[in-house]
């Protein structure tokens, strides 16, 4: 087993800090909502029906903690 040494993460404080830093998303909210719509379609659902209309927006909001 090979262990790598990363001097930039040489203390517990730096590790915690690096884990808690929120990075900018690579995709827009609109792209994420479209992905959820695609998933719903793949499951045989109609994303435009009354009970699912707001689902893409709700899913994206829930994932943006």
DSSP of 10-52? -SHHHHHHHHHPPPPPSS-HHHHHHHHHHHHHHTT--TTSTTT
Structural domain contains residue 54: yes
- 2 band by pLDDT with thresholds 50, 70 and 90: low
C-alpha dist (Å) from residue 45 to 30, 42, 52: 19, 7, 9
Task: Tell me which residue has tokens 């829930």.
Answer: 62
CATH code assigned at 56 = 1.10.286.10
- 6 band by pLDDT with thresholds 50, 70 and 90: low
- For 13-63, write each residue's pLDDT tens digit: 766 666 666 677 789 999 999 999 999 999 999 999 999 999 999 999 999
Q: Please tell me the total count of domains within the chain.
A: 1
Structural domain boundaries, residue 65: 27-65
Residue 12 has pLDDT above 60, yes or no: yes
Structural domain contains residue 2: no
pTM of the model: 0.62
């Amino acid at each position: 087993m090979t262990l790598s040494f990363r001097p930039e993460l040489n203390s517990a404080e730096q590790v915690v800090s690096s884990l808690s830093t929120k990075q900018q998303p690579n995709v827009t909210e609109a792209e994420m909502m479209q992905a959820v719509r695609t998933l719903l379609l793949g499951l045989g659902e109609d994303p435009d029906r009354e009970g699912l209309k707001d689902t893409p927006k709700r899913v994206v909001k829930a994932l943006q903690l």
